[in-house]
Amino acid sequence: MTRDLFVALVLQSSLLFLMVWAIFQLAPAIPANAKAWIWRLAFLKPIVSLLPFAAITLHLLPAGIPEVILAKAPVVESMPLISGPPIPITQKAENLTFDPLSLLWLLGAAGMLGAGIVGRLRAGHIVLHARPVTDAYLLDLLQEFGGASGTADQLALVCSRSIQSPMVVGGRKATIVLPASTLESGSPSDAKLMLLHELAHVRRRDLSWLGLIWLVQSLFFFNPIVWLAARCARQDHESATDRHTAQWSGVPIQTYADMLLRASVVARPSLVPGALPMSESYRTIRRRLNAMKHFDSKPSLARKSAIGALALVTLCALPMYNLAEASSPQQGPPLEVRGRVEAGDAGRPDVISAEFQSYDARTALQMLCEYSHKSYSIDPVLKGTVTVDLRNVTFETALQMLLRQIDGTFRNKKGVYVMTYQGPSVTAPPFSGPTFSGHVAPSKPVTFKCDRMDLRAALRMLFQLRPTNYTIDPAVQGVVTVSVREVTLDVALTTLLKNSNATYRLDKGVYLVVPRSTPKKK
């Protein structure tokens, strides 16, 4: 994944977390179980977006230039005036450097995951040195409520003097650990509620979902919004478990709240993946007690609809969304950045063929000169892209056609071709030198049809029907819809350019497609 995609993932996930958090703050009466499930969906977002097929492109940006497929092209620096033999074009190898930000991210994520593994090993050590619970009343409760949820055979019940608050530890077989002090001197009612609370965690599969939250928190440890969302998600999971336990036990909410205070506010817990201790901070316990005020409230139809809408929005936000330019219904083939110079096919050594599609003008000029073994100098002002297809033309004809598209001209100074900028208002003077002319307009008729196609793509397709020499000025842009049948190339070209701000002329066997000149006001 590139840095840009990673940043986009962080931003989109942060916006989703902030939206869910803000809604829950504004509507505290939303049932805790609904909050827990919406948090689960929200924390799936960073994981699902990492999948290669979970990306959706939205064509919402203003339409600009067509899509460009970059081909390999040599990177050429501006060259001074030279008079010796031509210098071959070479491509500089990129230096492979390691991004320091990536290294910091790897170290941070490894540190978070390492801390989680150490905490999990400590919880496993507690379970290993705990002793089985022999209280018949608690074992009957385990069989009764665990059997009702289908988890009795997958649970172990132990007690330990190393803890002061109950906890459940995951693994191949979940283990509920009760504090030995509660069994020895505590109330049987407290022990029952503690056991049911941990059974509710197992039944709700909170260990797996909170493990996912820990994974996201480890991967995005640098994002404070993720830490805020993770804290609220754990709190809502605990509140949902509180409500489930209160319904299971059938005790009044006040009785359960008293047990929670006695069992929870003992020490600040460490966040350990794969283990759920009941102990919490005073602030978290206060939030859980406030959430109990809404346990008996019945959600209205409007509230249920709002919860469903929020869940649907969260579900729709799971993929990665990429913004792209709005495309026309038919854009034609993508413009391929292509450039080549080769010998002509007319059997004459003084002619060449050159094809450049949306190519860097300076690179095209250098390729042309290097191929023809000409000494040259290029004005640094000359920049832009060129689109030409020239067959069996002389070097100077090809050079003039390229320079016309970037408002340039040239002169031969003692064997060195000096290329300079002349401006758009100056017409390039005719050059004296050998030319290769011929009638390039084929007599065979053509049939051509396009519907709302990019003008430059349509021109390229038309010229490829009857291979001929052509250049397209970079200023020629637009969208066209035409349909011609059994007409000459000239008629088809005139029809194609009729409703656009462009025209063409034939110059030395080359079709020049240029913007239509605007008449000056008197």
How many Cα neighbours within 13 Å face the side chain of 441? 13
Q: How far apart are CA 372 and CA 385, in angstroms?
A: 21
Q: How far apart are CA 391 and CA 361, in angstroms?
A: 18
When mean pLDDT is compared over 14-18, 90-94, 379-383, 450-454, the highest value belongs to 14-18
Q: What is the pLDDT of residue 326?
A: 62
Q: How far apart are CA 514 and CA 522, in angstroms?
A: 24
pLDDT, tens digit, 9 for 90 and up, residues 1-45: 677 788 888 999 999 999 999 999 998 888 888 999 999 999 999
pLDDT, tens digit, 9 for 90 and up, residues 173-203: 888 999 888 888 778 888 888 888 888 888 8
Minimum mean pLDDT range among 190-199, 320-329, 354-363, 368-377: 320-329
Q: What is the pLDDT of residue 91?
A: 39
Q: What is the pLDDT of residue 41?
A: 93
Contact 229, 59 (CB under 8 A): no
For the segment 329-353, the average pLDDT, to the nearest whole number, is 61
Q: How confident is residue 443, by pLDDT bands cut at 50, 70 and 90?
A: low
pLDDT, tens digit, 9 for 90 and up, residues 373-383: 888 888 888 88
Is the pLDDT at 428 greater than 50? The verdict is no
Q: What is the pLDDT of residue 339?
A: 61
Q: What is the pLDDT of residue 222?
A: 93
Q: How confident is residue 76, by pLDDT bands cut at 50, 70 and 90?
A: very low
Measured in whole angstroms, the distance separating CA 339 from the mean position of its chain's CA atoms is 31
Q: Tell which phi-psi region holds residue 87, choosing left (phi > 0), alpha (psi between -120 and 50) or beta.
A: beta
Is the pLDDT at 299 greater than 80? The verdict is no
Q: How far apart are CA 179 and CA 263, in angstroms?
A: 9
Higher pLDDT, 275 or 363: 363
- Amino acid code (one letter) for 8: A
Contact 353, 342 (CB under 8 A): yes
pLDDT, tens digit, 9 for 90 and up, residues 240-270: 988 888 888 888 888 888 888 777 655 445 5
Q: How confident is residue 451, by pLDDT bands cut at 50, 70 and 90?
A: confident
Q: What is the pLDDT of residue 426?
A: 38
Question: What's this model's pTM, rounded to 2 decimal places?
Answer: 0.57
Q: How far apart are CA 214 and CA 237, in angstroms?
A: 14
Domains of the chain: 3-64+317-322 (no CATH), 100-296 (no CATH), 337-421 (3.55.50.30), 446-515 (3.55.50.30)
Q: What is the pLDDT of residue 80?
A: 39
pLDDT, tens digit, 9 for 90 and up, residues 467-512: 678 888 888 888 888 888 888 888 888 888 887 888 988 887 788 8
Percent with pLDDT over 70 in the chain: 77
For the segment 103-130, the average pLDDT, to the nearest whole number, is 89
Q: What is the pLDDT of residue 460?
A: 80
Q: How far apart are CA 328 and CA 257, in angstroms?
A: 62
Whole-angstrom CA distances from 23 to 238, 289, 290 are 19, 20, 17
Average pLDDT, the chain: 77
